[in-house]
């Protein structure tokens, strides 16, 4: 049950094509070879001789890639609706990004990368305030930079622990026994605490984040992890408007389960210090939750006095038509923590003041982020505002979702459950095998797309993705579906 504001967006009429935001962008895909082609095959073999990276799909000529189009090593030009797993905000070689390091000052920031936790540049505070805080989630005015989504979540967990243990001690600093015992990973300095996550969630591949990740076995197999609890995330029936009663009951079932788990963890002396949740379970299959569900989670966190962490690593930065997807949920106040990366180009976390660590080095690593990424992000944010890209995203998203719904009605045995906010869209195939066949055939049509979960086709274009690109995608998908 997506918020009513979102449902209104989903029912808008189609829009006509507009100008390209990147001059010289190809008009359509062009395919010369199979994908991966012979040059990619040579490079794959060469790579394999020095690095085990069997996840590589094809090699890219980033010099030739432009706008919404990615060009592979064999010269195939594809409409890219996957964008390095939703990580390229303005497409390829956007002119505003290319000139971000034109100034001598920017170049010096790039080459003199500081250890920000101890020796930040004299303009670092201005960068934080003018760039990261300029797009902060409403109600959050504290920010910590990191390098990626995983380390952002790991450090968010630490803030949860610190707050909980400070409450347990009544604000008194840890004693000598605690300080000594933690060096041997023993109590009382190493307490038994947990974080609640959800089936289908993905939060990273480092140990704490991985303990909260429940989307694919290959992420976790053979890795020792914390014994942390996991709850059910809603699984709705589509179309939403035809299944209101069932989906409302699903929200209640999942919220009741969260309450039950929190109480059990306290009884088992392994209390939950917080809940981590994605606005849309991206890796797990693009599962949506309603405003009612997310409001309910916040109410539960307040009731139990634990931290509400919203992981916006994939949804943050504009792909839903708002900078932050949780803005659609009309929460009573801001989440306690919002983590980010991907389209934001740097990792990090926004948080409330009561989560500030008490001591130096409690949240720390050598780099604590990279100021050069904020130079790039500044260019992205200015371009979003200048070109009204959030509006563009909503318009393109309307065309995408309308097209997906038309295709699922046209091919009901192949597709179902079209859903999305902005261009953050997905549709399910009837089987995993069919989904993979559709993705492969889309490449032969010149469209690079991705999958997630068991059967979902996920769409993750750049913010410069327009209605004309959406129409090319829908046209290509229809052509592929007809082959079945």
Domain shared by 337 and 446, yes or no: no
Q: Of the candidates 334, 369, 404, which is a domain's last residue? A: 369
Handedness of CA 356, 361, 365, 369 (dihedral sign): positive
Same domain, 240 and 365: yes
Number of domains in the chain: 2
Percentage of the chain exceeding pLDDT 90: 96
Contacts of 288 (CB under 8 A, 6+ apart): 2, 234, 236, 280, 281, 419, 421
| Secondary structure of 211-232 as H, E, C letters | HCCCCCHHHHCCCCCCCCCEEC
> Do 137 and 225 fall within a single domain?
yes
Q: Is residue 217 part of a domain?
A: yes
The reply to whether 89 and 121 lie within a common domain is: no
Rg, Å, the chain Cα set = 23
Secondary structure E strands in 151-249: 194-198, 230-231
Residues 37 and 158 in one domain: no
428 and 316 in a common domain:
no
The CATH number given to whatever domain includes residue 423 is 3.90.1150.10
CA distances from 203 to 87, 148, 198, 241, 281 (A): 15, 11, 10, 30, 10
Residues 403 and 272 in one domain: no
Domain span including residue 187: 114-369
- Distance (Å, whole) CA 265 – CA 261: 6
Find the length of the chain.
484
Q: Which of 266, 366, 431, 483 is catalytic?
A: 366
* Residue 15: per-residue pLDDT: 36
State the CATH number of the domain containing residue 189.
3.40.640.10
Burial (CB count <10 Å: 0-12, 13-18, 19+), residue 249: exposed
Based on the fold, state whether residues 320 and 439 are members of the same structural domain. no
pLDDT tens digits, residue range 307-324? 999 999 999 999 999 999
Domain closes at, from 313, 337, 369: 369
Residue 7 has pLDDT above 60, yes or no: no
| pTM value > 0.85 | yes
User: Which residue out of 82, 202, 294, 465 is catalytically annotated?
Assistant: 202
Residue 311 bears catalytic tag: yes
Q: Which alpha helices (H) appear in 122-234, and where do they start and end?
A: 124-127, 149-168, 176-181, 207-211, 217-220
Domain match, 275 and 223 both: yes
Q: What pLDDT digit, counting tens, does each position of 423-465 carry?
A: 999 999 999 999 999 999 999 999 999 999 999 999 999 999 9
154 and 276 share one domain: yes
Shared-domain flag, residues 168 and 302: yes
Given 353, 369, 385, which residue is the final one in a domain? 369
Residue 404's closest CA among 322, 470, 462? Answer: 470
Which candidate in 342, 343, 352, 373 is catalytic? 342
Q: Which pLDDT band, with edges at 50, 70 and 90, does 483 fall under?
A: very high
Instruction: Single out the residue of 224, 218, 283 nearest to residue 54, CA to CA.
Output: 218
Q: Does 362 map to a domain?
A: yes
Q: Is residue 381 part of a domain?
A: no
Q: Which listed residue (311, 378, 398, 428) is catalytic?
A: 311
Domain presence at residue 431: yes
* Two tokens, residue 60: 């890219």
Residue 144 within a domain: yes
For residues 239 and 292, state if they share a domain: yes
What's residue 61's pLDDT? 98
Residue 248 domain-assigned? yes
Q: Kindly state the tokens that stand for 478.
A: 């229809």
- Gap between the Cα atoms of 310 and 336, Å rounded: 8
In the predicted structure, residue 6 carries a pLDDT above the cut 50: no
Q: pLDDT, tens digit, for every residue of 122-165? A: 999 999 999 999 999 999 999 999 999 999 999 999 999 999 99
377 falls within a domain: no
Neighbours of 69 (CB within 10 A): 23
Is 329 an active-site residue?
no
Tell me if 6 is assigned to some domain: no
């Amino acid at each position: 049950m997506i918020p009513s504001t979102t449902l209104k967006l989903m029912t808008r009429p189609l829009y006509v094509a507009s100008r390209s935001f990147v001059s010289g962008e190809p008009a359509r895909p062009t395919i010369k070879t199979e994908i991966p082609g012979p040059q990619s095959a040579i490079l794959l073999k060469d790579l394999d001789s020095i690095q085990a990276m069997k996840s590589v799909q094809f090699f890219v000529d980033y010099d030739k890639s432009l706008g919404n189009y990615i060009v592979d090593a064999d010269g195939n030009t594809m409409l890219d609706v996957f964008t390095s797993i939703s990580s390229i905000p303005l497409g390829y070689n956007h002119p505003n990004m290319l000139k971000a390091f034109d100034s001598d000052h920017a170049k010096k920031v790039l080459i003199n990368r500081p250890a920000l936790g101890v020796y930040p540049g004299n303009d670092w505070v201005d960068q934080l305030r003018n760039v990261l805080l300029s797009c902060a989630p409403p109600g959050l005015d504290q920010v910590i930079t990191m390098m990626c989504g995983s380390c952002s979540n790991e450090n968010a967990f630490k803030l949860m622990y610190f707050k909980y243990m400070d409450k347990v001690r009544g604000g008194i600093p840890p004693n000598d026994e605690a300080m000594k015992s933690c060096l041997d990973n023993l109590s009382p300095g190493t307490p038994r605490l947990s974080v609640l996550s959800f089936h289908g969630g993905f939060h990273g591949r480092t140990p704490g984040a991985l303990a909260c990740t429940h989307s694919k076995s290959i992420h976790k197999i053979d890795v020792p992890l914390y014994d942390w609890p996991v709850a059910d995330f809603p699984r709705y029936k589509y179309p939403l408007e035809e299944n209101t009663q069932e989906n409302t009951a699903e929200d209640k079932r999942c919220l009741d389960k969260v309450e039950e788990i929190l109480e059990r963890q306290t009884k088992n002396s392994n209390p939950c210090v917080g809940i981590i949740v994605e606005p849309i379970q991206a890796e797990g299959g693009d599962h949506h939750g309603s405003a009612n569900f997310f409001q309910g989670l916040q109410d539960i966190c307040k009731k139990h006095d634990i931290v509400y962490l919203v992981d916006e690593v994939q949804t943050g930065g504009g792909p839903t038509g708002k900078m932050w997807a949780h803005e659609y949920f009309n929460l009573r106040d801001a989440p306690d923590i919002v983590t980010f990366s991907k389209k934001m180009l740097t990792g990090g976390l926004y948080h409330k003041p009561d989560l500030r660590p008490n001591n130096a080095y409690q949240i720390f690593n050598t780099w604590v982020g990279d100021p050069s990424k904020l130079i790039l992000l500044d260019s992205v944010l200015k371009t979003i505002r200048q070109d009204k890209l959030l509006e563009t995203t909503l318009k393109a998203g309307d065309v995408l979702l309308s097209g997906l719904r038309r295709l699922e009605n046209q091919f009901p045995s192949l597709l179902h459950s079209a859903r999305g906010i902005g261009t953050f869209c997905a549709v399910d195939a009837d089987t995993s095998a069919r989904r993979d066949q559709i993705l492969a055939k889309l490449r032969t049509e010149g469209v690079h797309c991705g999958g997630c979960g068991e059967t979902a086709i996920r769409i993750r274009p750049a913010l410069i993705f327009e209605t004309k690109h959406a129409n090319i995608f829908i046209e290509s998908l229809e052509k592929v579906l007809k082959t079945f």
